[in-house]
């Protein structure tokens, strides 16, 4: 197998394409599309977003110390892209994309009602890195769309058609390959799962 050597670059893909909502009052509500985001700790639950200093949302988030990570779907693909290329200095993104600002439980920043999952975050630290600054944050509440919660109380994001970003392109997630631990799962357990899902 022959491999090429490239100069250092951000090649960890795919990534979630999320819409981050921010602002303490309706007058300064804004949405910024972010791909540089992820989980950094399980207990306490923490995540991050990385934002360029010249983005309109940067100072809004820095001053308020809070934001909401809204997961996106195939149906939200157009709005996700649009909110990433247009500036909140020039547009009311909620109005332009016909998105609904909803009430967060623990913070002032709004959620996006159309998102299947909204993660309310409080900034704990800002790390200056270079092209981007990283906003490290604690998750203080999560709002999940009941349409994707089954009778057992389990949330299935896959049913919403999750959107991911890979090197300048958006994709909808594909077929299920397995679940965590399937490589070491006992045969009887695998058969039980297949039977419960009517796959036999």
pLDDT values of the chain reduced to their tens digit, one per residue, 200 residues = 899 999 999 889 999 999 999 999 999 999 999 999 999 999 999 999 999 999 999 999 999 999 999 999 999 999 999 999 999 999 999 999 999 999 999 999 999 999 999 999 999 999 999 999 999 999 999 999 999 998 888 888 888 889 999 999 999 988 878 878 878 877 776 676 666 555 44
Residue 33: name the closest of 121, 131, 165 by CA: 165
Residue 177's pLDDT is what? Answer: 81
Helix, strand, coil distribution of the chain in percent, nearest 5: 25, 35, 40
Tokens at residue 85, please? 């290329």
Burial class (CB in 10 A: 0-12, 13-18, 19+), 1: exposed
Output the pLDDT for position 49: 98
Confidence at residue 194, expressed as pLDDT on a 0 to 100 scale:
63
User: Which pTM was predicted?
Assistant: 0.91
Q: Give the tens place of pLDDT for each residue, 75-106.
A: 999 999 999 999 999 999 999 999 999 999 99
pLDDT at 175: 82
Return the pLDDT at 184: 84
For residues 155 and 189, give the distance between their C-alpha atoms in angstroms, rounded to a whole number. Answer: 21
- Cα dihedral sign, 70-75-80-86: negative
């Amino acid at each position: 197998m022959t491999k090429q050597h490239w100069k250092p670059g951000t090649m960890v893909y795919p990534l979630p394409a999320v819409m981050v909502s921010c602002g303490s009052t309706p007058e300064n509500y804004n949405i910024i599309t972010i791909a540089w985001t992820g989980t950094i700790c399980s207990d306490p639950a923490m995540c991050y977003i990385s934002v360029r200093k010249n983005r309109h949302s940067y100072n809004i988030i820095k001053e308020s110390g809070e934001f909401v990570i809204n997961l996106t779907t195939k149906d939200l693909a157009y709005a996700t892209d649009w909110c990433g290329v247009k500036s909140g200095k020039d547009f009311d993104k909620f109005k332009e994309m016909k998105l609904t600002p909803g009430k967060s439980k623990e913070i002032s920043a709004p959620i996006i009602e159309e998102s299947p999952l909204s993660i309310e975050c409080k900034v704990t630290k800002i790390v200056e890195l270079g092209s981007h600054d990283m906003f490290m944050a604690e998750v203080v509440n999560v709002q999940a769309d009941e349409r994707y919660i089954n009778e057992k109380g389990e949330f299935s994001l896959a049913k919403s058609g999750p959107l991911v970003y890979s090197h300048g392109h958006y994709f909808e997630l594909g077929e299920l390959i397995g679940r965590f631990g399937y490589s070491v799962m006992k045969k009887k357990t695998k058969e039980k799962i297949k039977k419960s899902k009517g796959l036999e």
